Amino acid sequence: MDAYLLDWLNLLLRWAHIVTGIAWIGASFYFVSLDNSLTPPKDPNDAAKGVGGEQWGVHGGGFYHHMKYPVSPPKLPDQLHWSMWESYSTWLTGFALFTVLYLFNASTFLIDKTLFDWSPAAAIATALGFFVAFWIVYDTICRVFGRGRNGDAIVGLLVFVFIVFASWLSCHLFAGRAAFLLVGAMVATTMSANVFFWIIPGQRTVVAAIQAGDPVDPVHGERGKQRSVHNTFFTLPVLFTMMSNHYGFTYGAKYNWGVLVAIMVAGALIRMSFALRHKALAFGKPVPWHYAVIGTLLLAGVVFALLPPPQPAQPAAAAPASFAEVQAVVTQRCALCHGAAMQSKNVRLDSADEVSKHAQAIYQQAVVLKIMPMNNATQITDAERALLGRWFTAGASTK
């Protein structure tokens, strides 16, 4: 029953995280595209009121006229929409899911003893430390270098270097699957912290100044814009890490930290092209697709680098694996977690009927994706995976 309820909690938290994430990313993408699509107002009266840019759009059968006041409007409206809970709810559901899946099962999901043998408590504390440390370093970089000449370029370079280091360290401390997710969650935490500590407080300060009739300091808008732009470039790298746990050939690679960095950089470059596309179209300039091209070529390089080595030719007369051989492998490598004592995911593999029932899953996860056994805790060999593959492709007979 406990495993059943835990699976439901996993499902509902994952569902909520996806829904809130769509809301946050959708709002972020929309406002970035809107901001980059603004052109100077054509009506002199609008410019006199402080309008810095406008956009006409059509959607859902109607026309929309968007205006942006870069510093402040002459008067605040009675109703003001705030975009913040999309971010907060995404982080809260994501952290809850991370806790249920990884922190509560640290010995299984966080720790790979062949990589680094330490206690669950130490692994949990270090994982949480990644969240805090990355935010402190990132925020310090933005404070110190973000406003000078070439500030954005310097910040980008320093943050990139630190992400590379964090990726390398995470992949040397934690199981590959957890390491990828941890780096993504670390960056996602910083994205939400940008909203909580800088974007929303800055907007509240501006609103309070307008209400009090005081001059508005434009630095609050500048800081909020800077952090918002950072967030949009973080988005695709984070999304990759969220889905990477389904693809063992990425986090299971020999130099998995390099794979992680390369794919994250590719995602950021592709996102840059799409973000700059709106500004280019608004001002009639060529779309800077070269960033996306570089990102795509980088992805192609990763695909090529991870190509599996050619398999030695099998003798034409090689006999299919017998079920007795398959059962011996399953008993030694799988039944520890999928036996009578621990029915992980409500799956048992300690009888011929159960092995036959789950033959497709065994083939997919142990042979094709190679994500089972988890972190290869039972040290299944490539020869044993090949044996399971021959058995399944020959019909998965239990006789």
Average pLDDT (11-28) is 95
Average pLDDT (42-63) is 93
Average pLDDT (210-221) is 91
Q: How far is CA 148 from CA 24, 34, 136, 160, 202, in A?
A: 30, 26, 20, 18, 20
Number of domains in the chain: 2
Same domain, 97 and 201: yes
What pTM, to 2 d.p., does this model score? 0.85
Q: Where does a domain end: 279, 305, 331? A: 305
Same domain, 225 and 289: yes
Per mean pLDDT, which range of 45-54, 142-151, 251-260 is the poorest? 142-151
> Considering the domain boundaries, does residue 163 fall inside one?
yes
Same domain, 296 and 226: yes
> Considering the domain boundaries, does residue 139 fall inside one?
yes
pLDDT at 18 over 90: yes
Higher pLDDT, 311 or 199: 199
Same domain, 246 and 335: no
Same domain, 244 and 377: no
Same domain, 301 and 333: no
Average pLDDT (10-29) is 94
> Considering the domain boundaries, does residue 311 fall inside one?
no
pLDDT at 312 (0 to 100) = 64
- Give the Cα separation of 348 and 244 in Å (integer): 26
> Considering the domain boundaries, does residue 315 fall inside one?
no
pLDDT at 176 over 70: yes
Higher pLDDT, 348 or 244: 244
Per mean pLDDT, which range of 94-98, 253-257, 354-358 is the poorest? 354-358
Query: Among 14, 196, 11, which Cα is nearest to 88's?
Result: 196
pLDDT at 322 over 90: no
Same domain, 342 and 297: no
pLDDT at 310 (0 to 100) = 78
Same domain, 241 and 181: yes
Q: Where does a domain end: 246, 276, 305? A: 305
Same domain, 241 and 356: no
DSSP string, 110-130: I--TTT----HHHHHHHHHHH
pLDDT at 69 over 70: yes
Convert the pLDDT of each residue in 110-146 to its tens digit. Answer: 998 889 999 999 999 999 999 999 999 999 999 999 8
Its sign, for the CA torsion 116, 122, 127, 129, is: negative
Average pLDDT (370-381) is 81
Q: CA angle, corner 276, sides to 273 and 280, nearest 5? A: 120
Same domain, 284 and 341: no
Higher pLDDT, 108 or 139: 139
For the chain, percent of residues with pLDDT exceeding 70: 97
pLDDT at 311 (0 to 100) = 64
Q: Where does a domain end: 252, 271, 305? A: 305
- Give the Cα separation of 203 and 193 in Å (integer): 15
Q: Average pLDDT over the chain, rounded to whole?
A: 91
> Considering the domain boundaries, does residue 310 fall inside one?
no
Cβ(87)–Cβ(24) below 8 Å: yes
> Considering the domain boundaries, does residue 62 fall inside one?
no
pLDDT at 1 over 50: no
Domain span at residue 351 reads: 323-393
Same domain, 96 and 228: yes
> Considering the domain boundaries, does residue 60 fall inside one?
no
pLDDT at 316 over 60: no
Same domain, 330 and 299: no
pLDDT band at 217 (very low <50, low <70, confident <90, very high): very high
Q: What is the DSSP letter of 108?
A: I
pLDDT at 337 (0 to 100) = 82
> Considering the domain boundaries, does residue 219 fall inside one?
yes
Average pLDDT (181-195) is 97
SS3 14: helix
- Give the Cα separation of 30 and 341 in Å (integer): 50
